[in-house]
């Protein structure tokens, strides 16, 4: 995150400077729609981007799996901006989606980690996330960096469109400066999370629930568990649970809930009650000092409080650590999971 903030994108004197976005200010300002295309973890970062851009800049956003988007005949015009997100910059589905959107005249904006990769070369403009090389196949720090880039882009668009007051913007940027410190704090729960991992290493299934920007966090938590520990896991919007997944809940089912003190706190509490009433085992991600959720949950992991805008940056960390420890305890190779490639080029 520090690299990302110091490098191409960084806040300055209450104004946001984005190296790759500045020349496209007018385009972003007048965009009628933004389409985000990506795969896997990058797609989850895109969902966070949707939440932030719509919340702050009030521009409609669609988030599409590139692997599906490329095979249909979507309506795209020259007024659309397509944001393509990819850690490797070589994902074939994302490249095909870009090529299709380009043909229809859209502006392509890339968010990529690997300098000089194919996706930045196909893009009109973009941001390098500079998260450093992802040693393992499953994206982790690339996700954090992608979300940071999208957060700053959302603030930038909001600033240029005038949809965010200067005082709110300054308070968000002040909080943004604290994020590296909050990430460090969240990482301190590592050995405590190992203790929880020991209890759940033999689980066959897991459910991850979140609301608002906590929903993509739930999806990412489930994907990490699947990718590296081969436990079947599903991420759901917490309110969607009653429309199906609730049938799965019993004493064998760990339910990981993002239950931090943000706007959906009260509603998440009622979701936890629904799980507990069916004997589900709740592992709650809570805000430091929480007293209500910790009484209901079987296990809880504290993270420091932050504004809802930055919740995905902090709340994802305990889920990555949980998956990591479970995978190691199960004897899985976390860097090279079976059947997965670093960049899916076919
Ligand atoms: C997309 C992705 C990763 C996943 C795995 C396979 O890659 O789905 O999210 O962890 O590596 O590819 P990318 O387009 O972000 O490089």
pLDDT at 324: 96
Predicted pLDDT at 126? 85
Ligand 1 geometric centre to CA of 167 (Å): 37
Strand partners, 111: 85, 127
Count the residues in the chain: 346
**Distance from the alpha carbon of residue 39 to the mean position of ligand 1, in angstroms:** 6
Whole-structure pTM value? 0.93
Q: Which residue has the higher pLDDT, 268 or 32?
A: 268
Of 186, 245, 256, residue with least CA distance to 221: 256
Of 172, 216, 226, 234, give the one whose Cα is nearest residue 46. Answer: 216
Inform me whether the pLDDT recorded for 285 exceeds 50: yes
Question: What residue's CA is closest to ligand 1, atom 14?
Answer: 86
Phi and psi based region of residue 244 (left: phi greater than 0; alpha: psi -120 to 50; beta: remaining) = left
Phi, psi of 142, rounded to the nearest 5 degrees:
-65, -40
Which atom number of ligand 1 is nearest to the Cα of residue 91?
14
pLDDT at residue number 16: 46
Q: Evaluate if residue 6 carries a pLDDT over 60.
A: no
Atom 8 of ligand 1: nearest residue by CA position: 40
CB-based contact 193:322 (threshold 8 Å): yes
State in Å: Cα 108 to ligand 1 middle.
19
Residue 7 confidence (pLDDT): 39
User: What does the block give as tokens for 19?
Assistant: 């190296």
**pLDDT at res. 340:** 80
pLDDT category, 19, cuts 50, 70, 90? low
Q: Is 148 helix (H, G, I), strand (E, B) or coil?
A: helix
Average pLDDT over residues 246-270: 93
- How distant, in Å, are the alpha carbons of 120, 150, 217, 235 from that of 64? 19, 16, 17, 17
301 vs 192: CA distance, rounded Å: 8
Give CA–CA dist 21/92, Å, rounded.
24
What distance in Å separates the CA atoms of residue 12 and residue 169, rounded to the nearest whole number?
12
What is the reported pLDDT for 226? 96
Query: What's the pLDDT band for 289 if we cut at 50, 70, 90?
Result: very high
Mean pLDDT confidence for 277-303: 96
Q: How far is the CA of 168 from the centre of ligand 1 (A)?
A: 34
| Whether pLDDT at 12 is above 70 | no
342 in Cβ contact with 42 (< 8 Å): no
Calculate how far, in angstroms, residue 343's C-alpha sits from the geometric centre of ligand 1.
6
137 alpha carbon – ligand 1 mean position (Å): 8
Which of ligand 1's atoms lies nearest the C-alpha of 138?
10
CA angle 15, 213, 291 (to 5 degrees): 110
With a cut of 60, say whether residue 10 has pLDDT above it: no
Residues with CB under 6 A from ligand 1: 39-42, 86-88, 91, 94, 137-139, 340, 342-344
Distance 142 CA to ligand 1 centre (A): 10
Contact predicate 273/296, CB 8 Å: yes
Contact 58, 161 (CB under 8 A): yes
ipTM of the complex: 0.96
| pLDDT attached to residue 115 | 84
Other CB atoms closer than 10 Å to residue 22's CB: what's the count? 12
Among 91, 98, 220, 327, say which to mutate for ligand 1: greatest number of ligand atoms within 8 Å of CB. Answer: 91
- Residue with CA at minimum distance from ligand 1 atom 3: 40
| Model pLDDT for residues 176-229, shown as the tens digit of each residue | 989 999 999 999 999 999 999 999 999 999 999 999 999 999 999 999 999 999
Q: Dump pLDDT digits (tens) for 23-38.
A: 777 888 888 899 999 9
* Mean per-residue pLDDT, 304-327: 97
Q: Is the dihedral of CA 235, 119, 82, 159 positive or negative?
A: positive
CA distance 249 to 255: 8
Q: Which of 36, 37, 38, 39 to mutate to test the pocket of ligand 1 (most atoms within 8 A of CB)?
A: 39
Mean pLDDT rounded to a whole number for the chain: 90
Closest ligand 1 atom to the C-alpha of 142?
A: 15
Does 8 have pLDDT greater than 70? no
Q: Between residues 154 and 136, which one has the greater pLDDT?
A: 154
Q: How confident is the model at residue 9 (pLDDT cuts 50, 70, 90)?
A: very low
Section 102-113 average pLDDT: 93
- What domains are defined for the chain? 2-164 (3.40.50.10490), 185-329 (3.40.50.10490)
Q: Report the pLDDT value the prediction gives residue 312, as an integer from 0 to 100.
A: 97
Ligand 1 centroid to Cα of residue 88, in Å, is 7
- pLDDT for 2 equals 38
* Residue 13: pLDDT band with limits 50, 70, 90: very low
Which pLDDT does position 20 carry in this prediction?
A: 60
């Amino acid at each position: 995150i520090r690299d990302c903030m110091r490098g191409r994108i960084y806040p300055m004197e209450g104004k946001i400077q984005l190296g790759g976005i500045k020349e496209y200010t007018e385009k972003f300002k007048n965009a009628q729609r933004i389409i985000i295309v990506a795969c896997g973890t990058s797609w989850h970062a895109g969902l966070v981007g949707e939440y932030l851009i719509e919340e702050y800049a009030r521009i409609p956003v669609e988030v599409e799996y590139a692997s599906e988007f490329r095979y249909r005949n979507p309506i795209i015009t020259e007024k659309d901006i397509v944001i393509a997100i990819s850690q490797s910059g070589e994902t074939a589905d994302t490249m095909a989606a870009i090529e299709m959107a380009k043909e229809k005249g859209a502006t392509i904006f890339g968010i990529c980690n690997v300098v000089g990769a194919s996706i930045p070369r196909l893009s009109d403009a973009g941001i390098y996330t500079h998260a450093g090389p992802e040693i393992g196949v499953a994206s982790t720090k690339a996700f954090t960096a992608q979300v940071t880039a999208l957060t700053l882009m959302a603030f930038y668009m909001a600033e240029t469109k005038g949809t965010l007051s200067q005082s709110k913007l300054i308070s968000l940027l002040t909080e943004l400066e604290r994020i590296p410190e909050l990430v460090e704090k969240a990482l301190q729960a590592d050995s405590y999370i190992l203790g929880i991992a020991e209890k759940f290493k033999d689980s066959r299934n897991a459910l991850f629930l979140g609301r608002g920007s906590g929903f993509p966090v739930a999806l990412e938590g489930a994907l990490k568990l699947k990718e590296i520990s081969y436990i079947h896991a599903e991420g759901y919007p917490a309110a969607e649970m009653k429309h199906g997944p609730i049938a799965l809940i019993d004493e064998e089912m760990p339910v990981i809930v993002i239950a931090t003190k943000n706007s959906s706190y009260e509603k998440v509490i009622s979701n936890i009650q629904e799980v507990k009433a069916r004997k589900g085992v709740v592992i709650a991600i809570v805000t430091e000092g929480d007293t209500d959720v910790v009484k209901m949950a079987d296990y809880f992991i504290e993270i420091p409080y932050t504004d809802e805008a930055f919740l995905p940056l902090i709340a994802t960390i305990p889920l990555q650590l949980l998956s990591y420890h479970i995978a190691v305890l199960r004897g899985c190779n976390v860097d090279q999971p079976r059947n997965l490639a670093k960049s899916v080029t076919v």
